[in-house]
Structure 1
Amino acid sequence: MNHYDLIVVGSGPAGRRAAIQAAKLEKKVLVVEQGKRVGGVSVHTGTIPSKTIRETALNLSGWRERGFYGRSYRVKQEISADDLRRRLLITLDHEVEVLEHQFARNRVQSIRGHASFVTPDTMLIVKDDGEELHVQGTSILLAVGTKPYRPETIPFDGKTVVDSDELLDLEDLPRSIVVIGAGVIGIEYATIFSALDIAVTVIDPKPAILDFIDREIVEDFIYQLRDRNMKLLLGQKAEKVEKLDNGKVSVTLDNGRRVLTDMVLFSAGRMGATDTLNLAAAGLEADSRGRLKVNPETFQTSVPHIFAAGDVIGFPSLASTSMEQGRIAARVAVGTIAMEPQKYFPYGIYAVPEISTCGLTEEEVKERGIRYEIGIARFRETSRGHIMGLDTGLLKLIFSMKTRRLLGVHIVGEGATELVHIGQAVLNLKGTVEYFVENTFNYPTLAEAYKIAGLDAWNRMGERPKEAPVATAQSLDPATSDTKKAASK
């Protein structure tokens, strides 16, 4: 029987980062992937595909130029599903090639096949050709990701009623679509279709969307969606979905309202892909959504040598955090010290427009009883915003009145997922409002919005009380000091 220091089940963000980390520590590593190619859900049906389709839709529709040329402007008049898929396939091929090269140069072994537990340290791998292989691992990491939740009451057919995975294989784009579920995935796809001038209706039983995001940012986001005629039916549950003889789909709500559409995207949650792992043989049990419970610091399950990371352990279910979870899990698994991750990480929602956030929301600050002040900047206030033709876009900074430290950064608008990292760095380095006021930003850039928001907050907070002089880089520089001395003489 083949023995490995670490067996990784799944090659998504958590799995591949864990495998490479363990290999760099000179451990014998095996990755088992049941998909046709390495990369997991992130590469083939999740993160990379949705973001590639988004970028393609924005480019071909001329979305970013409509501020100058009007809402009717389009780069390509007739955009097809094939147009979206062509760029997607190129991107996926590149991602897989990079990942395979990383495995090869780090001497990570990989096998295509389905893995399941036989004992807590032994797994059975069934390859595509039916060959069976038993492998043992000193440690095992489960990074199997998730799959769309598909209730039996929804008549999925892969054409007119689809989940987020099937959406990638569409042959034709619909004229109208109903998205059931206003979570991150549902909202991202809904806004992408809207940017393609497809009529979109979003249905969700909750009265609000994206409840983990700062409310002011969500309100601005919803205003932009409704301004382009997206329908948001919130606080209303889709009770029945049925396909009609004329090719349409009917969605009946709990209040009796009926919505007719060309296509339904059901995106009301995901399930951990653990149902075929035979967890019982390892002494493990998943929750009702197929997720595994772990120690949040070490990512160990209730069986100490079995770890889990990525979407299969639940929130925040981000590719970025999954990578870090996999890295930490791998280091713990092979007996190496793992540095504690930074407190604040960014959350990115690749909708149209983008949303990105890091740190505390205004609601969380209020709950903690912290005295605070807010600075706001709108992208149209920047010269770069004018150059790009931006009418929308908002950056919000939250500061403590007592310490003047940044508590949270929240952005909605073009480039939000890139811009947020400036705020993330200041948060983790415990920076204050003075950083934004006194720092120099490239001009013209959208990043200049940080200075505008910083000044907005600074003006409301008042100048910092006078303190003892603080040494600056200039005063500590020997050359500068010598020059000053010479001048005084």
Structure 2
Amino acid sequence: MAVYDYDVIVLGSGPAGEGAAMNAAKKGRRVAVIESQDSVGGNCTHKGTIPSKALRHSVKQIIEFNTNPMFRDIGEPRWFSFPKVLKRAEKVISNQVMMRTNFYARNRIDLFFGLAEFQDKNTVLVKGTINGDETLRAKNIIIATGSRPYTPEDIDFSHPRIYNSDTILTLSHTPRTLIIYGAGVIGSEYASIFSGLGVKVDLIDSMGRLLSFLDAEISDSLSYHFRNNAVKIRHNEFYEKVVADERGVTLTLKSGKMIRADAFLWCNGRTGNTDMLKLENVGLEANGRGQIEVDDHYRTKVEGMYACGDVIGWPALASAALDQGRAASSDMLNADDFRYINDVPTGIYTIPEISSIGKTEEQLTEECVPYEVGQAFFKDTARAQISGQPIGMLKILFNRETLAILGIHCFGDQASEIVHIGQAIMNQEGEANTINYFVNTTFNYPTMAEAYRVAAIAGLNRIANL
């Protein structure tokens, strides 16, 4: 059996693993990456972020075509099947894989495709590579194996009508009706995608409010637009059993309700990919959701071993995972560019999309912070009127005494892009991070960014009128 020695071994080639590997390679270390799939990118590229966002983009274009009066000169509204829309996502995935494979080649990082398991804290066995089993050794190891959908044992996920957020990408037809269990970020995004394709969706939420971590006004806006697109949201509900037959799926809820649909999509929680690693051989133990505990430098309790990305839990975002990987490898190599990743914007790719950073109104009220609100509604901005995307708003929360920006919340087209302007100003020092920046800065016209100026003036007017 071949044995190879490295400075750093990274388990996983998703955003966290990629960030860690590239950073270590740039710092002159010899790096090996182990990936359980047959190409790089991890679940982010193959099953999660990239395919779902590519799907969303295609569905959004279909909605625009079918609802824009100008296109009626071309022809009647068109219906598109889920498999047809999925082909667009597959093209994006292949482009991402090719690009990321080149990253590893350029940085002379060795790739091993197989299943990793620990033999000791410095030795990893890679099973099933093209050369058979191979052994890698290194002083430093980073666990970035990501996560997969949590699947309870009392639901038969082998049935052709029952899916999770990974297997839904194998759906070969378009159901007329769909039950989505779990109204978190993933469930809400797929509710948007399928309702946009004309599927009647029942969205089951175990909470009392959709995406309750969001600012309440933003959450309420999403609920309204879901209902406006025939998505039936059922709050405070829990499943009793899920039974499928050759004609459909019946969901029985603990409240006694029974719901019938053509297909069932489970989107309720994720599990860290740690069960095959043989963590016991290095003295590590995952929690009940397969996650590994780390400190604020991404160090596990085993010397020289780090973990980052979805496998450590919050915030479980691709954007944060990439930065966590870079930070973990910097700390491991005693570099001076380490930072703890906590300034992370929320990006939710529903239709319309949502993005936010900072405190919500509810948090500021609870903390007794004297805040005020500035709002700009997209329907009043020229760019949104031109693009035919009038739904949504930008909301700035700021301290009414110091004028410091406390939170940015955006709902509507390009929300995940717009929020970064506010994020940049929030991170400035002193006077530079106040709402006055948006009043005293000239924005291109017409743009969506101009909403910051409109919201800032509206917010300051609230104070002036007192």
The residue aligned with 2:95 is: 94
User: Aligned to 2:13, which of 11, 14, 19?
Assistant: 11
Q: Which moved more, 1:328-337 or 1:351-360?
A: 328-337
8 A contact 1:142–1:306 mirrored in 2: yes
8 A contact 1:63–1:195 mirrored in 2: no
Whole-Å Cα distance in 2 between the matches of residues 158 and 452 of structure 1? Answer: 52
8 A contact 2:139–2:304 mirrored in 1: yes
Whole-Å Cα distance in 1 between the matches of residues 75 and 299 of structure 2? Answer: 51
Paired letter, 1:49: P
The residue aligned with 2:417 is: 418
Whole-Å Cα distance in 2 between the matches of residues 438 and 158 of structure 1? Answer: 59
Residue deviations 1:160-182 (CA, integer Å, cap 9, x gap): 11011111111101111000001
Shift of 1:78: 3.0
Whole-Å Cα distance in 1 between the matches of residues 152 and 250 of structure 2? Answer: 17
Whole-Å Cα distance in 2 between the matches of residues 370 and 76 of structure 1? Answer: 50
The residue aligned with 1:466 is: none
Shift of 1:391: 3.6
8 A contact 2:177–2:200 mirrored in 1: yes
Matches within 5 A, 1:363-402: 363-402=362-401
8 A contact 2:118–2:281 mirrored in 1: yes
Whole-Å Cα distance in 1 between the matches of residues 26 and 404 of structure 2? Answer: 38
Relative to structure 1, the CA distance from residue 76 to residue 167 in structure 2 (aligned partners, 3 Å threshold; closer, same or farther) is farther
Unaligned runs of 5+ in 2: none
8 A contact 2:63–2:196 mirrored in 1: no
Residue deviations 1:407-427 (CA, integer Å, cap 9, x gap): 100011111001110011011
Shift of 1:113: 0.7
Whole-Å Cα distance in 1 between the matches of residues 442 and 338 of structure 2? Answer: 32
Residue deviations 1:112-158 (CA, integer Å, cap 9, x gap): 01111111111111124572111111110000000111111112136
The residue aligned with 1:250 is: 250
Whole-Å Cα distance in 1 between the matches of residues 264 and 252 of structure 2? Answer: 12
Residue deviations 1:378-411 (CA, integer Å, cap 9, x gap): 1001011111223420111000112101110001
The residue aligned with 1:455 is: 457
Which portions of structure 1, spanning 4 or more consecutive aligned residues, are displaced by more than 4 angstroms? 67-71, 73-76
Shift of 1:256: 1.3
Whole-Å Cα distance in 1 between the matches of residues 111 and 221 of structure 2? Answer: 46
Q: Which has the larger radius of gyration?
A: 1
The residue aligned with 2:267 is: 267
Give the SS at the match of 2:139: strand
State percent identity of aligned pairs.
39
The residue aligned with 1:33 is: 35
Relative to structure 1, the CA distance from residue 75 to residue 309 in structure 2 (aligned partners, 3 Å threshold; closer, same or farther) is farther
CA RMSD of aligned residues (A): 2.0
Relative to structure 1, the CA distance from residue 70 to residue 104 in structure 2 (aligned partners, 3 Å threshold; closer, same or farther) is closer
8 A contact 1:236–1:253 mirrored in 2: yes
Relative to structure 1, the CA distance from residue 365 to residue 65 in structure 2 (aligned partners, 3 Å threshold; closer, same or farther) is farther
Whole-Å Cα distance in 2 between the matches of residues 219 and 74 of structure 1? Answer: 35
Whole-Å Cα distance in 2 between the matches of residues 21 and 290 of structure 1? Answer: 26
Whole-Å Cα distance in 2 between the matches of residues 24 and 306 of structure 1? Answer: 20
8 A contact 2:148–2:273 mirrored in 1: yes
The residue aligned with 2:322 is: 323
8 A contact 1:205–1:237 mirrored in 2: yes
TM-score (ref. length: structure 1):
0.91
Matches within 5 A, 1:32-111: 32-59=34-61, 61-63=62-64, 66=67, 68=69, 77-111=78-112
8 A contact 2:396–2:456 mirrored in 1: yes
Whole-Å Cα distance in 2 between the matches of residues 201 and 386 of structure 1? Answer: 32
Whole-Å Cα distance in 2 between the matches of residues 113 and 343 of structure 1? Answer: 32
Shift of 1:84: 1.6
8 A contact 2:210–2:220 mirrored in 1: no
Shift of 1:252: 1.0
Shift of 1:204: 2.0
Paired letter, 2:289: R
Relative to structure 1, the CA distance from residue 174 to residue 186 in structure 2 (aligned partners, 3 Å threshold; closer, same or farther) is same
How many equivalent pairs are there? 460
8 A contact 2:179–2:203 mirrored in 1: yes
The residue aligned with 1:352 is: 351
8 A contact 2:375–2:393 mirrored in 1: yes
Matches within 5 A, 1:106-145: 106-129=107-130, 131-145=132-146
Relative to structure 1, the CA distance from residue 215 to residue 397 in structure 2 (aligned partners, 3 Å threshold; closer, same or farther) is same
Whole-Å Cα distance in 2 between the matches of residues 242 and 253 of structure 1? Answer: 12
Give the SS at the match of 2:114: strand
Relative to structure 1, the CA distance from residue 115 to residue 151 in structure 2 (aligned partners, 3 Å threshold; closer, same or farther) is same
The residue aligned with 1:223 is: 224
Whole-Å Cα distance in 1 between the matches of residues 286 and 415 of structure 2? Answer: 35
TM-score (ref. length: structure 2):
0.95
Residue deviations 1:293-323 (CA, integer Å, cap 9, x gap): 1112x10011131100001111111111000
Whole-Å Cα distance in 1 between the matches of residues 266 and 197 of structure 2? Answer: 19
The residue aligned with 1:148 is: 149
The residue aligned with 2:280 is: 280
Paired letter, 2:136: V
Give the SS at the match of 1:356: strand
Give the SS at the match of 1:62: helix
Shift of 1:258: 1.0
Paired letter, 2:397: I
Whole-Å Cα distance in 1 between the matches of residues 30 and 389 of structure 2? Answer: 52
Paired letter, 1:330: S
The residue aligned with 2:237 is: 236
8 A contact 1:204–1:235 mirrored in 2: yes
The residue aligned with 1:301 is: 300
Paired letter, 1:14: A
8 A contact 2:65–2:71 mirrored in 1: no
Q: Which moved more, 1:206-215 or 1:447-456?
A: 206-215
Whole-Å Cα distance in 2 between the matches of residues 36 and 395 of structure 1? Answer: 42
8 A contact 1:6–1:334 mirrored in 2: no
The residue aligned with 1:213 is: 214
Whole-Å Cα distance in 2 between the matches of residues 75 and 433 of structure 1? Answer: 47
8 A contact 1:343–1:428 mirrored in 2: no
Give the SS at the match of 1:139: strand
Whole-Å Cα distance in 2 between the matches of residues 39 and 324 of structure 1? Answer: 15
Say whether residues 1:429 and 2:428 are aligned partners: yes
